[in-house]
Amino acid sequence: MQQPPTFTHLLFENQDKGVWLATINRPDKLNALNPDVFKDLGELGAFLESKEHSIRCVVLTGAGAKAFAAGADIGPMAEMNSKLAEAFSRKAQEHLRTLEYCGVPVIAAVNGFAFGGGNEVAMACTLRYAADTAKFGQPEVKLGIIPGAGGHDRLIRLVGPGKARELILRPEIFWTAEQALAFGLVNGVFPAADLLTKVIEIAHEIATRPHLAITAAIDVMNEGQGGSPCEVMENEARRFGDLFNTVDAHEGLSAFLEKRQPSYIGA
């Protein structure tokens, strides 16, 4: 098994039983996102995709109590010309897509502000849970720019075009955690003091499931985005059939019929 890579601004800690905690660690900058942070997230995704590990679920949060990630680091961005800005956007999109498609569930524990790129990072995760004090926004147009790390597409898919357009085109709007839950942006809301404990509990629950089935389900849902219903169903049927070549599928079905707890081996 390979060891996790060494990250610049990401703490990566083992929470036992296949669950790891990743923390964006720039608390003095409210965990603002610069190229190194996006690179860390992409390298995390590539490592998880490699399958050279025993990690079954990752919880992603921000250091400190104020912010998950309060947007991109504006200082370096202010110095960019058009060519550099486009390259930055493409790299950020690439890194978040690697994280999104890594095959291992990544759960965002949004512990505070998730503005701009911070919200884009959260949306690239498999699931999102928020502290009751969290706030969400896409304030880029107030600065004369737009979301550039995949925000338009993911936001539309999660909350629908109407709400997505409102959040992006009215940059003074910030959604509370309860609004984000009502609009479909997050999956649940917990008291701030309990957030990390609750999300790690959810991660441990997911980690007990047969990970080949979990990975297949994530892949089918990710690959189905933007595809036709026929293409989605074709892929679903193929992956459904593939799982019947695994030991775990036969173990799960047999355990159900025999009324016992299954014992999965990841094969």
Residue 267's pLDDT is 82
**29/157 same-domain check:** yes
**105/49 same-domain check:** yes
Domain presence at residue 34: yes
**114/180 same-domain check:** yes
Domain presence at residue 113: yes
Residue 71's pLDDT is 87
**135/252 same-domain check:** no
Integer Cα distance of 108 and 125 in angstroms: 6
What's the predicted TM-score (pTM) here?
0.94
Q: What are phi and psi of 56, to 5 degrees?
A: -115, -20
120 is a catalytic site residue: yes
Domain presence at residue 267: no
**49/178 same-domain check:** yes
**50/91 same-domain check:** yes
Per the structure, the complete domain to which residue 215 belongs is given by 211-257
Catalytic-role residue among 140, 166, 172, 223: 140
> In tens digits, what is the pLDDT along the chain, a chain of 267 residues?
788 889 999 999 999 999 999 999 999 999 999 999 999 999 999 999 998 889 999 999 999 999 999 988 888 888 899 999 999 999 999 999 999 999 999 999 999 999 999 999 999 999 999 999 999 999 999 999 999 999 999 999 999 999 999 999 999 999 999 999 999 999 999 999 999 999 999 999 999 999 999 999 999 988 877 677 888 899 899 999 999 999 999 999 999 999 999 988 888
Nearest 5°: CA angle at 25, between 139 and 176? 35
Residue 114's pLDDT is 97
209 CB neighbour count, 10 Å cutoff: 17
**145/63 same-domain check:** yes
Catalytic-role residue among 120, 201, 251, 258: 120
Domain presence at residue 144: yes
Residue 43's pLDDT is 97
Instruction: Assess contact for 104 and 151: CB atoms under 8 A.
Output: no
φ/ψ region of 208 (left if φ > 0, alpha if ψ in -120 to 50, else beta) reads alpha
In total, how many domains does the chain have?
2
What's 217's domain CATH number? 1.10.12
**244/195 same-domain check:** no
For residue 176, count CB atoms less than 10 angstroms from its CB and return exposed for 0-12, middle for 13-18, buried for 19 or more.
middle
**149/203 same-domain check:** yes
What's 96's domain CATH number? 3.90.226.10
**71/35 same-domain check:** yes
